Each structure stands twice: as C-alpha cells, then as structure tokens.
Amino acid sequence: MRLPIVAANWKMHKTPAEAAEFAQALVAPLLPFEGVERVICPPFIAIPAVAEALRGTPIKVGAQNVHQEPQGAYTGCISVPMLQGLVEYVIVGHSEVRQYLCETDAMINAKAKAILAGGLKPIIAVGESLAQREAGETVAFVGAQVRAALEGIPAEALPSIVIAYEPIWAIGTGRNASPEDANQTIKVAVRDVIAALYGEATAQQVRIQYGGSVKPENMADYMRMPEIDGALVGGASLKLNDFVALVRLAQEAKSG
C-alpha cells in the first residue's frame, strides 16, 4: 500500500510573513489526517519561515525547484545544500519551469540526481501539451519524459521518488483531465514505463500524483483511482479550507 501524498505548490504566491501565517493556520486542521503525507511547497524566500512554522509537526516542506550544482556562479539559483535541513521534497520538471525557464529533460535528470544525493526527495513533474494530446502523442511523450528524468538513477532510489502527472492543458485552466483518463495515462505512460526500466515490484512502490485543476469537487474521483496516489495542487492549495478538504478527501478515499 502506497502512502498517499498531497502537495501544495504555492507557485509565486505569498510573502514570507503571509506564508508563515498560512502554514501555522494549516497545522491544526491537517493534523488528523495521518494516512496522507502532507507537503507544502512555498516560494524559496518563504521556506525558512514555513519550515519554522511547521517544525515538530508531521507536515513536510518542499521547494519548487533547485539547481543541479551544489554551488557556483549561477546567479539567482538555489542549491541542494542550501535546502538541506529546511525541506524534504523538491519539485523538478514543472511545466512552468520547463517552459518559462527553459528547463530540459537533461537538467531535470541532473536535478533529480542531485536531490537524491543530498538526501532529499524529488517530485518529478511530467505532462503533455494540448497539441500533443490532440495529436495522440501523450503516452509516447510522457513516457519519454519519465525515461529521461530517471536516466542513470538506481532502483534503490525509486521509492524516494514521486512522479506528478500534470497535463499542461489542465493546469490553472479549470479544465481537468477525467479521473479515468488520468488513471490510464499514469498507468501506461508512467508506471508501466518504470516497470519496464526497473521491474514491476519497484514500479509498485513509486507514488504517482495527478495535478491540474484539482479541487474539492473532483478530488474524491481522482483518489478513487487505483493508480493515483495523491495530488500536486496549485490554485486550490492557496485556500485553507480547500486544501484541508483535499487532504481529508484523499484520506477518506484511500482508507475506504
């Protein structure tokens, strides 16, 4: 049984003070849901404040990106050693970073390796564009993203890796993938690809999230799908009651 994981990707929202206040307010309502791993990914500048607010609680902190080198002349970047002790998870390969910051599959692979080497856990985001979907390329494209991200990563590391399947056309659009469709893509383009690379037993240990316009109204339908082990949530994670509801719905669906 895989522990469900619901992660809040706050993207470029909240100042450090706002983030700390929100994180503090989340603690009590999120505490009862021990059957779900709960992760908050604030902007870099708010990570210390959120880590402080969540210290001693079971709620984890994640970063939204990282540079693959431990240090160097990389203006504006943050490295794994800088995040150690503050976060447990790091999102890499988010479609917004791939698109706006020109992050490549090779960079995502290097970042995933650096995150694992530093004792942290990558949440590797993959997903197709609307044009790719309409051209029938979803499975080939997402499968290739998964293969590229995992290149050279040993099987022992796989249980520490989370994959987030986020179809680009569903992010922030209100147009979510149907639960059956997301489940099927996760199965054939992610879990089966991992099974082909590492074997079925290893593939069964990897947690795979869905992301893209997840909200309380559709969460239960996703969480009832056998291949979907949680959600990576943008907009709805910025509303306290909504995010708490998402975690509750994950716990109810997966324990029921």
Our CB check for ligand 13P shows the closer of 94 and 248 to be: 94
What residues between 87 and 106 interact with ligand 13P by CB under 6 A?
A: 94
Site string for ligand 13P, 55-84 (x = CB under 6 A): ------------------------------
Are 66 and 78 spatial neighbours (Cβ–Cβ below 8 Å)?
Answer: yes
Site string for ligand 13P, 99-138 (x = CB under 6 A): ----------------------------------------
Residue with tokens 């639960």: 179
Nearest to 209 by CA among 172, 254, 148, 155: 254
> For the chain, what percentages of helix, strand and coil (3-state, to nearest 5) are there?
50, 15, 35
Are 233 and 246 spatial neighbours (Cβ–Cβ below 8 Å)?
Answer: yes
Our CB check for ligand 13P shows the closer of 143 and 212 to be: 212
**Contact residue for ligand 13P among 146, 214, 228, 245 (CB under 6 A):** 214
Enumerate the H helices of 118-199 as residue ranges. 130-134, 138-150, 179-185, 192-198
Point out the residues that are catalytic: 94, 166
Min dist CB 225 to ligand 13P, Å, is 17
What's the burial of 226, exposed, middle or buried (CB within 10 Å: 0-12/13-18/19+)? exposed
Our CB check for ligand 13P shows the closer of 53 and 233 to be: 233
**Contact residue for ligand 13P among 42, 62, 179, 212 (CB under 6 A):** 212
CA pair distance 11, 60, nearest whole angstrom: 16
CA pair distance 116, 122, nearest whole angstrom: 7
Our CB check for ligand 13P shows the closer of 198 and 232 to be: 232
Q: Does 217 bind ligand 13P (CB under 6 A)?
A: no
Residues lying near ligand 13P in the complex (CB under 6 A) are found at: 9, 94, 166, 171-172, 211-214, 232-236
